[in-house]
A and B are shown apart, each in its own frame.
Chain A
């Protein structure tokens, strides 16, 4: 058992912390969030140069052959800086799917393009009726000649409007909630019949509603086996959850530092407000929550990558998302409260961290959803 970062991971972390502190200061982030693109092409190029966009890709495709612990290091640093670039969508979700399930031709075409920073991708999976259920897919793909025709609508596709290519889940068989019959397709974002309505998210990121109307793709657009995509989707989302947990931990640590600083400098009744025990104890609980969340983010990374079975992976990743979601809420709400009136202003970074932490909880299943998964496992274990 070893909780230490490797020397390479340590270097990566140091480099990222320097980047966030120097090149991604809060005013810079504000400009990026307000820009039309919603992300910084310059930052993305820097990530490519750093090797971040290929951290977990095999070396044959220009990657570094890393694992979920490398993603943990990257996402934690991004959480500290509230980085809004489409790393989760492009690298973790879509890059991960192509890496794990793509054909050699798809890997050849896509992984180096992602690694080089030329290609952004988005995972168009969730639908209006599916809430957080991964097997609830109404979008259809019907065979047509050599290829497929896709019809349906996808909701809150992270960075869907920025992506050059989409991975779309669609039914090639079975009913709307069947586990079998779901397939994954690679779709050009500007293909005929794809319409995208992009928008900002509450936390300064971007997402899109995507409609697919008679979208034609070739046979080689299929990723993985026809009708057998659910296990791939589950693993991709679990890796995404592990990444979000790490991001949340970085955000919580930074937010706790900001709040602590505020408690030491803000004076009322003639003393720093941190002298008041009622505030001290709330702060102590926030630090405990962040530590417990860190433990679970590490567990999520380990299990998303190395679990002995899919059932074990899903169980422990759900446990992690539950605790991280609850901790994110406690730390976020606590930070705003301890910042007083300043905490509810746009001016203070704290409110932005609170918003991101809130939305991380709501992404890929909130704490209640995942607690339900852990709870239901008690029936069988």
Chain B
């Protein structure tokens, strides 16, 4: 065993750091670090910068235009990006649909879609959940009926993230009602400009628009856009979930956020007028999160180092549960640190260039909204209860 990074890995870290320092637009980093609103353009711009450097897809193999980096290199890259305030690369294309297209798509699909994902040309979104199908995803009802060279899609998808920006959506649709619910699902790629698609905002508890309903009304989808075989979509969806074993841990982001909460607790004052960080009751909570985050990081590194040698165990679910809990705890503590100032609802203060007054300080403006927003962590991506079901049933055999 050796917990140190190799000299090559340290050199790689320096290379990544130098590149980010030179190329990450400071106005974007400012927004990310201060938890202001970022735009679609910010995300696309950073994607293009990385693409030009050849780093557009840190998690892809070289044959598809990725970096071919090993898991530890990806971890280092992620750590450096989050520490510097780079916007998170869009998961839906790079980490979700792309691996499915690589593994199960045909050559035409690979050649058309993958280059457009990595260049930032195509913005992807996800069509999985439906109003009646949340944790019980396999019960989904959106129908795709074959008519000649097209599927005709009818139904509704919900909890769609950033679909109002999207060029394409990957959908699980029902192509058969025979057998078990899992057996009649197909994986379709749908152009968001197709007639019959309506995107309707869902305003979330923080007052923000990030999430949508997507309605399909007799939407024609060419059969070429079916991935793999008809009625095998559930297998591909499960592959997608298992593929990204450490992505939901978010270690790099939470390390950066831990530093931010520490800074906030130095600025804010306790009841005694001393910096809040000197309040033991508060500080112990931050220390507790630090300890759990260290354990999460080590677990992540263990999983990454094991690579693909080991069959998936409880790791993906473990990392999702712990990662979400730690993130939520940090946002809650950031809000708590702001005291009364957290009450003020100043959504306009989340725009870069805001010149009005703050209540408390700039750090207080996003505090409560972040807390409210991130309650979703333990609900999405397979709720934490579903993750515990997966561990107990799939891994422990209960």
Interfacial residues, chain A to chain B (CB-CB below 8 A): 1-5, 69, 260, 263-264, 272, 274-275, 277, 279-281, 283-285, 287-288, 291-296, 298-299, 301-302, 306, 316, 319, 322-323, 371-372, 374-379, 381
- Min distance, Cβ B214 to any Cβ of chain A, angstroms: 32
Given A263-B398, A280-B388, list of 6 further CB < 8 A pairs? A1-B9, A3-B305, A277-B389, A284-B314, A295-B296, A298-B298
Contact call A260/B396, Cβ cutoff below 8 A: yes
Contact call A375/B1, Cβ cutoff below 8 A: no
Q: Does B321 contact A (CB under 8 A)?
A: yes
Q: Does B72 contact A (CB under 8 A)?
A: yes
Whole-angstrom distance between the alpha carbons of A3 and B72 in the complex? Answer: 12
Given A1-B5, A280-B393, A292-B322, do A374 and B388 touch, yes or no (CB 8 Å)?
no
The one of B278, B322, B397 that contacts A379, using a Cβ cutoff of 8 Å: B278
With contacts defined as CB atoms under 8 Å apart, how many contacts are there between chain A and chain B in the complex? 134
What are the residues of chain B within 8 A of A375 when measuring CB–CB?
280, 283-284, 286-287
Contact call A299/B294, Cβ cutoff below 8 A: yes
Whole-angstrom distance between the alpha carbons of A298 and B1 in the complex? Answer: 9
What are the residues of chain B within 8 A of A377 when measuring CB–CB?
287
Contact call B388/A1, Cβ cutoff below 8 A: no
Whole-angstrom distance between the alpha carbons of A69 and B280 in the complex? Answer: 34
Q: Does B379 contact A (CB under 8 A)?
A: no
What are the residues of chain A within 8 A of B317 when measuring CB–CB?
284
Given A283-B392, A295-B298, do A1 and B292 touch, yes or no (CB 8 Å)?
no
Chain B 283-308 near chain A by CB (<8 Å), digits 1 or 0: 11011101110111011011001100
Across the two chains, which residue of chain B brings its CB closest to A292?
B295
Q: Does B311 contact A (CB under 8 A)?
A: no
Contact call B3/A298, Cβ cutoff below 8 A: yes
Chain B 2-24 near chain A by CB (<8 Å), digits 1 or 0: 11111001000000000000000
The one of B2, B294, B392 that contacts A296, using a Cβ cutoff of 8 Å: B294
Contact call A288/B290, Cβ cutoff below 8 A: no
Contact call A378/B295, Cβ cutoff below 8 A: no
Given A2-B2, A260-B396, A379-B283, do A295 and B388 touch, yes or no (CB 8 Å)?
no
Contact call A3/B306, Cβ cutoff below 8 A: yes
What are the residues of chain B within 8 A of A4 when measuring CB–CB?
1, 305
The one of A295, A372, A381 that contacts B295, using a Cβ cutoff of 8 Å: A295
- Min distance, Cβ B219 to any Cβ of chain A, angstroms: 38
Q: Does B122 contact A (CB under 8 A)?
A: no
What are the residues of chain B within 8 A of A288 when measuring CB–CB?
314, 318, 321-322, 391
What are the residues of chain A within 8 A of B398 when measuring CB–CB?
260, 263-264, 272, 274-275, 279-280, 283
Across the two chains, which residue of chain B brings its CB closest to A322?
B291
Chain B 242-280 near chain A by CB (<8 Å), digits 1 or 0: 000000000000000000001000000000000001101
The one of B3, B277, B389 that contacts A299, using a Cβ cutoff of 8 Å: B3
Across the two chains, which residue of chain B brings its CB closest to A9?
B1
Contact call B291/A291, Cβ cutoff below 8 A: no
How many B residues face the partner with a CB closer than 8 A? 46
Across the two chains, which residue of chain A brings its CB closest to B296?
A292
Best-surrounded residue of B1, B278, B292, B396 (most CB of chain A within 10 A): B1
Given A263-B398, A280-B388, A280-B389, do A372 and B284 touch, yes or no (CB 8 Å)?
yes
Contact call B392/A319, Cβ cutoff below 8 A: no
What are the residues of chain A within 8 A of B5 when measuring CB–CB?
1
Contact call A2/B1, Cβ cutoff below 8 A: yes
Contact call B295/A296, Cβ cutoff below 8 A: yes
Contact call B322/A299, Cβ cutoff below 8 A: no
What are the residues of chain A within 8 A of B393 when measuring CB–CB?
280
Given A316-B294, A372-B284, do A280 and B392 touch, yes or no (CB 8 Å)?
yes
What are the residues of chain B within 8 A of A287 when measuring CB–CB?
314, 318, 391, 395-396
What are the residues of chain A within 8 A of B111 when measuring CB–CB?
none
Contact call B392/A264, Cβ cutoff below 8 A: no
Q: Does B348 contact A (CB under 8 A)?
A: no
Contact call A374/B299, Cβ cutoff below 8 A: no
Contact call B4/A1, Cβ cutoff below 8 A: yes
What are the residues of chain B within 8 A of A284 when measuring CB–CB?
314, 317, 387-388, 391-392, 396
List 3 A-B pairs, minimum CB-CB distance, nearest first: A295-B298, A280-B392, A375-B287
Q: Can you pick out 23 interface pairs between chain A and chain B where the beta carbons lie within 8 Å of each other?
A: A2-B1, A4-B305, A260-B396, A272-B398, A277-B392, A280-B388, A280-B389, A280-B392, A281-B389, A283-B396, A284-B388, A293-B295, A296-B291, A298-B3, A299-B3, A301-B1, A319-B294, A322-B288, A323-B294, A371-B288, A375-B280, A375-B286, A379-B278
Q: Does B351 contact A (CB under 8 A)?
A: no
Whole-angstrom distance between the alpha carbons of A381 and B277 in the complex? Answer: 11
Across the two chains, which residue of chain B brings its CB closest to A70?
B1
Across the two chains, which residue of chain A brings its CB closest to B285?
A375
Whole-angstrom distance between the alpha carbons of A375 and B290 in the complex? Answer: 9
Q: Does B208 contact A (CB under 8 A)?
A: no
Whole-angstrom distance between the alpha carbons of A302 and B5 in the complex? Answer: 13
Across the two chains, which residue of chain B brings its CB closest to A372?
B284
Whole-angstrom distance between the alpha carbons of A5 and B1 in the complex? Answer: 6
- Min distance, Cβ A9 to any Cβ of chain B, angstroms: 8
